Amino acid sequence: MQFQSKAEFVPYIFTKENPVIEWGGNLYTPPVEKRRLHYHNCLEIGYCYEGSGVFMSEKEMVPFYKGDISIIFPGQRHIACSNHEDLSKWHFIMIDHRRMGLMHTLKGFGIKEADFWNQSQFPPVFHQEEQMELALLVRLITEEFLGKKEGYEAIIMSLTDALFSMIYRMERFEIVGNLKIEEELLEALSFISNHLQDKIQIGKLAELSNMSESTFRRKFHEAFQKAPLEFIQENRIKLARRLLDKEDFSIMEISQKAGFENMSSFLRQFKKYEGCSPSKRKNQKESEIQIDTGKSNC
């Protein structure tokens, strides 16, 4: 894979006796401020124990909350940033995918290893309620590593093998061209992630990127296949959806926390991207919870 020089390569050294190591210590808190994208020579998985923030990787900027997981492939550029009002705590584990003998999984699917790692549409974060099986596997891998009971390496290898298989079976998995976020847009992306609640001027984003506004709009569209404002609105809706699903806020409070100037704009944009009103989604989630806990609206 080819990377721009500004992306930092952070390699890890493994041994036969230690094919799995932790990064950042137990319950690491990603800093709030923007840092350089980096990439590794190994598989990185993480489990968010508390807090919230944003993960940026390749072509996506994904908000995360407690219970979410990250799966970062070797060579995949990424960075995690905590929310300044709700610092997150993660446990990250680095896995030597070669020494752990995981490549036979790819052979079983008839896919070349290089093609698997080089795909660029794999998201950096999965939300627990959307991918419960993946979240469970990552949590089990983390707990096995922390416990370090007899035979934990073999158990981690089996669990990670299952993780690979589930990833490949996912409908959204697709091997595509190796498109990257332009490094010069990272400052603007960081600003967006930390100011979704505020009014964001495109001119300010262009200034942060040291470009004219027209050049910024063109480069942004080339990188994301959408205009900056559409990208901002989509990420505000992502935030609103997460707040609806995980927090006990009113629709008005969620509208404000997601950065919408008024309720009508929020309702219009939410229905555009989600296909239903915020109240309908909230009611659906509450019904699902009642069914899971044996309760009923009847």
Coil, strand or helix at 95: strand
Q: Give burial (CB, 10 Å; 0-12/13-18/19+) of 5.
A: exposed
| Sign of the CA dihedral running 43, 19, 145, 170 | positive
Predicted pLDDT of residue 248: 77
* Domain 8-169 fold: Jelly Rolls (2.60.120)
pTM above 0.85, yes or no: no
Predicted pLDDT of residue 225: 82
Domain boundaries, the chain: 8-169, 183-291
Predicted pLDDT of residue 229: 93
Coil, strand or helix at 99: coil
Predicted pLDDT of residue 215: 94
Predicted pLDDT of residue 105: 57
- 170, 74, 174: which is closest to 119 by C-alpha? 174
Q: Could you give the CA distance from residue 255 to residue 263 in angstroms, rounded to a whole number? A: 6
Give the chain's residues under pLDDT 50: 1-5, 120, 171-180, 289-298
* Domain 183-291 fold: Arc Repressor Mutant, subunit A (1.10.10)
Coil, strand or helix at 264: helix
The tens digit of pLDDT for each residue in 168-207 reads 776 444 433 333 455 677 778 777 877 888 889 999 999 9
- CB-side exposure of 154: number of CA atoms within 13 Å? 3
Helix locations, 178-277, DSSP H: 186-194, 202-208, 213-224, 228-246, 251-257, 263-274
